[in-house]
Structure 1
Amino acid sequence: MFPTPIAKASIPTRLAYRLLLPVSLVFWLLPLIGVLMTSVRPLGDLAAGNYFGPPSRIDFTENYGALFSSSPIGHYLLNSLLITLPSVAGAIALACLAGFALSTYRVRGNLFIFFLFVAGNFVPFQILMVPVRDLALRLGVYDSILGLALFHMAFQTGFCTLFMRNFIRQLPYALIEAARIEGVSEIKIFIHVVLPLVRPAIAALSVLVFTFVWNDYFWAMVMVQGEHAMPVTAGLYALKGQWIAAWNLIAGGAVVAALPPAAIFFLMQRHFIAGLTLGATKG
């Protein structure tokens, strides 16, 4: 049923694995390497058609200095933080509460409510473009950081609830019953019993949701028009000039925009892996 571990595979399979893995890794990294090299090229190389060859010189300080001095990239990064952090905190807080209720309480309609959370993940987000825009206009939050943060919070809550509900269901129910017998209130059970046990799951979910929201481009273009609320993913397009595109600055902006989610992943890597493997084994 499960694939054979590579250590137990045949000798030709292991040799093919050792040969193909580094080749696949190089092909996977080529676009990233290309962006990194473009971000430190002088503009003259790009004008001369030197797109993939080694740069004539390394203009790291000049390019990144010009990126932060002659473009609003810093403002875009701040907007992305103001959008992403509340979205992650709000979605995970709602998901923990909803997951605790859906996994602990046996009430009529429990499964139906859970299916509603799950069904929202299967709706193609493109067909929500017009309704979401109209709703934002009616609520007065269109073209604002608040509107985009509220949308991401609502949009990510369904996936987060599915994630948290399944993790909380794997906890020993006897712990919750014992706390109830001792007279502990439900909110204290949630805070002092459930949350400490699912911290790895919360960490893993935080990394995933942070990456989803930070890298969003579609909804940033739908919900925001002005630069005052534009996140960095949509703001990179503003670095393209009317007559000429400074691709070295755009590549530098792409590198800068990719650093926060990469840093979050490496900082939370241990908790992320623990959260994904939580409940994978029994006994």
Structure 2
Amino acid sequence: MTADLKSTTRAGDVTPIAPGTAPDRRPRRGRYGVHIFLSAVCLAFVAPLLLAVYTSLRPYEETARDGYFSWPDKLSLDYYREAYTASGMGTYFTNTLIIAVPAVIVTLFLAAFVAFAVSRLNIRGGLALLMFFTAGNLLPPQVLVTPLYVLFLKIDLPWWMSDSMTLYDSYWAVILVNIGFQVGFCVFVLSQFMRTLPKEILEAAVVDGAGVWTQFWRITLPLCRPALAALATLEFTWIYNDFLWALIFISNPDKLPITSSLNNLRGQFFTDYNLLAAGSILVALPTILVFLLLQRHFIAGLTLGSSKG
């Protein structure tokens, strides 16, 4: 006598299913509402970007006459060429890379050191140290603007490090500030990720004679690659889009980052918003490119460590 197939509908209840029939796998009605909500949220985020792209492809005279939501008579890339040359975007982009790339690398390197010590080593006061780094993220950065401004004016640097001979009006000032404000967040994320790694891996390495540096550099750090890639994407985006610190600590216009180049597209009495839209799209392209290159690792870094076991 053959046993009938059964499916469990809830804990303790069993409903018989006729032989040869498959269970109903149709999506629940509630999922349709979730998909509609997520689609609406996605459209709300993408709509301004699509409008900016659409605006940047049309002449200003046309949008002034027919409106921004009218059907186009002509589409061209002239504004992109004009925005790149008129704003001097190449120089500003180089300045941004000089600031963002070292800041991201040093931030992740220092954060990985601290996170490893807090999460994988039995050091005294590890929890208090983690709370200290986490609490630093709660401090509004605007509070430290004046003290840092005065401090940077009093710190001397050699001529080959700064044209102004001080920390103020140099790339180092913006790099140090970004490292100081971003390392706390990275320590918190990396420490939580490292706690999910199996302890048996380090215990086996210790048995084989591995020192602390080997445990960190050759074992733990490679396993944290998804988390590091996700943090690198976020940190590069945040530092790349920073406008406050460069505006305060750099007075030389030739050293300003790319976010300042958009000011060059604004006229004294008139602003071509179609040209400004094209410049904004050009400024946003590097961050989009970084996300696309690290997308696989970024998503893995968001999902790994969400559950243990």
In 2, distance between residues paired with 1:132 and 1:153?
Answer: 14
CA-to-aligned-CA distance 1:134-169 (integer Å, 9 cap, x gap) = 222222222222211121112111111111111112
Question: Superposition pairs for residues 85-96 of structure 1, below 5 Å?
Answer: 85-96=101-112
Partner Cα separation in structure 2 for residue 121 and residue 208 of structure 1: 15
Match for residue 124 of structure 2? 108
What corresponds to 2:55 in structure 1?
38
Q: Greater relative contact order: 1 or 2 (C-alpha under 8 angstroms, separation 6 or more)? A: 1
Q: How does 1:58-69 map to 2 (within 5 A)?
A: 58-60=75-77, 62-69=78-85
Q: Output the CA distance in 1 between the equivalents of 2:234 and 2:133.
A: 18
Change (3 A) 1:23 1:192: closer
CA RMSD of aligned residues (A): 2.1
Equivalent residue, structure 2, for 1:197: 223
1:1-283 equivalences under 5 Å are: 11=29, 13-48=30-65, 50-60=67-77, 62-139=78-155, 140-283=166-309
Q: Equivalents in 2 of 1:199, 1:72: separation in Å?
A: 36
Q: What TM-score do you get using the length of structure 1 for normalisation?
A: 0.89
2: distance between equivalents of 1:119 and 1:242?
Answer: 43
Q: Deviation digits for residues 177-208 of structure 1, max 9, x if unmatched?
A: 22223222211221111111111111111111
Instruction: Note if contact 2:117-2:123 (Cα within 8 Å) is conserved in structure 1.
Output: no
Counterpart contact for 2:152–2:173, Cα < 8 Å: yes
Deviation at 1:49, TM superposition (A): 6.5
Gaps of 5+ in 2: 1-24, 156-165
CA distance, structure 2, for counterparts of residue 106 and residue 86 of structure 1: 31
Letter in 1 for 2:49: L
Provide the rounded CA distance (Å) in 2 between the counterparts of 1:168 and 1:143.
38
- The secondary structure found in structure 1 opposite 2:109 is helix
Go from structure 1 to structure 2 and tell me whether the alpha carbon gap of 1:114 and 1:26 turns closer, same or farther (over 3 Å shift): closer
> Residues 233, 51 of structure 1: CA spacing in aligned structure 2 closer, same or farther, 3 A cutoff?
same
Q: How has the CA–CA distance of structure 1 residues 270 and 218 changed in structure 2, closer, same or farther, with 3 Å as cutoff?
A: same
The structure where helix makes up a greater share of residues is: 1
Shift of 1:44: 1.8
The total of aligned residue pairs comes to 275
* Structure 1 unaligned regions, length at least 5: 1-6
